[in-house]
C-alpha cells in the first residue's frame, strides 16, 4: 500500500512538477524579462527612426534650395523663390531639432561629425535667412547671384548627410553586418576629413 502510494506521488510529481516549473518560468519571463525586451525593441526602433528623420530633413533642405530659380528678375519666380527659401529655413530648423533628438549613445559616438554638421547647417541657415531680405520680399532687384552662391553652398550638404546613412549602430539590422563593419572601420575618417575640408572652405 505504501509502495503504491509512493508510486502515485512520484507519478504526480513527474506530471505536475514540469508544469509548475513551466508556469513559473513563463510568469518570470512575462513579468521580468519581457518588459525589458520590449523596452529595448522600442529603443532600437526609435533610434533608427531618429536617424531616418535626420536624413529626411537633409533631403528636404537640399531639395528646397536646389529648386531655387536663378533666371533673373521675375515677379512670379521671386514669389516662388521666397516660398522655397522659407521652406529651406524651416527645414534647417527641423534638421537641427532632429539632430538634438538622436540617442545619447549615438551622439557620444559621433560627436565630432555632429558638431561639424551643426556648424555647417548654422552657416547655411544664415545664408538662407540673408537671402530672405526685405528687398527680395518686395520682389525688387535681381537676386540671382546670391541664390547661385546659396545653391553652391547647399551642394556641399552631401558631405554631411551621407555620414548618417553610413554610420548606423552595429545593432541596426537594416543593413548587413559586413557593410556596417566596413563603414565603421574604413570610412569613418574619410567622412570626418571631408567635413573638415568643407568647413575650412567656408572659413568655419
What are the structural domain ranges in the chain?
49-201
Write down the pLDDT at residue 76: 75
Mean pLDDT value of segment 50-54: 85
What SS3 string covers the chain?
A: CHHHHHHHHHHHHHHHHHHHHHHHHHHHHHHHHHHHHHHHHHHHHHHHHHHHHHHHHHHHHHHHHHCCCCCCCCHHHHHHHHHHHHHHHHHHHHHHHHHHCCCHHHHHHCHHHHHHHHHHHHHHHHHHHHHCCHHHHCCCCCCHHHHHHHHHHHHHHHHHHHHHHHCCCCCCCCCCHHHHHHHHHHHHHHHHHHHHHHHHHCCC
Write down the pLDDT at residue 51: 83
| Cα 90 to Cα 71: distance, rounded to the nearest angstrom | 24
Position 139 confidence tier, pLDDT thresholds 50, 70, 90: very low
Mean pLDDT value of segment 38-42: 68
pTM: 0.70
The cell numbers describing 114, all together, are 555632429
Write down the pLDDT at residue 25: 65
Higher pLDDT, 22 or 57: 57
Write down the pLDDT at residue 124: 92
User: Within 13 Å of residue 9, how many CA atoms lie on the same side as its CB?
Assistant: 6
What average pLDDT is seen over the chain? 75
Convert the pLDDT of each residue in 155-197 to its tens digit: 888 888 877 777 665 455 555 666 666 666 666 677 778 888 8
Write down the pLDDT at residue 9: 47
Cα Rg of the chain, angstroms: 29
Mean pLDDT value of segment 2-14: 52
Position 137 confidence tier, pLDDT thresholds 50, 70, 90: very low
Amino acid at each position: 500500500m505504501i509502495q503504491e502510494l509512493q508510486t502515485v506521488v512520484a507519478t504526480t510529481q513527474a506530471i505536475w512538477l514540469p508544469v509548475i516549473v513551466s508556469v513559473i518560468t513563463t510568469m518570470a519571463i512575462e513579468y521580468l524579462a519581457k518588459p525589458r525586451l520590449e523596452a529595448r525593441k522600442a529603443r532600437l526602433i526609435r533610434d533608427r527612426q531618429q536617424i531616418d528623420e535626420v536624413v529626411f530633413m537633409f533631403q528636404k533642405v537640399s531639395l528646397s534650395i536646389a529648386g531655387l530659380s536663378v533666371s533673373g528678375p521675375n515677379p512670379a519666380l521671386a514669389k516662388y523663390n521666397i516660398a522655397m527659401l522659407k521652406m529651406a529655413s524651416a527645414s534647417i530648423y527641423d534638421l537641427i531639432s532632429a539632430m538634438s533628438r538622436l540617442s545619447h549613445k549615438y551622439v557620444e559616438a559621433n560627436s565630432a561629425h555632429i558638431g561639424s554638421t551643426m556648424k555647417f547647417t548654422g552657416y547655411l541657415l544664415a545664408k538662407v535667412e540673408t537671402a530672405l531680405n526685405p528687398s527680395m520680399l518686395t520682389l525688387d532687384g535681381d537676386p540671382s547671384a546670391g541664390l547661385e552662391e546659396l545653391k553652391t553652398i547647399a551642394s556641399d550638404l552631401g558631405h554631411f548627410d551621407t555620414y548618417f546613412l553610413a554610420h548606423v549602430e552595429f545593432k541596426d539590422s537594416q543593413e548587413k553586418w559586413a557593410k556596417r563593419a566596413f563603414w565603421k572601420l574604413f570610412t569613418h575618417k574619410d567622412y570626418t576629413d571631408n567635413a573638415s575640408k568643407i568647413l575650412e572652405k567656408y572659413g568655419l
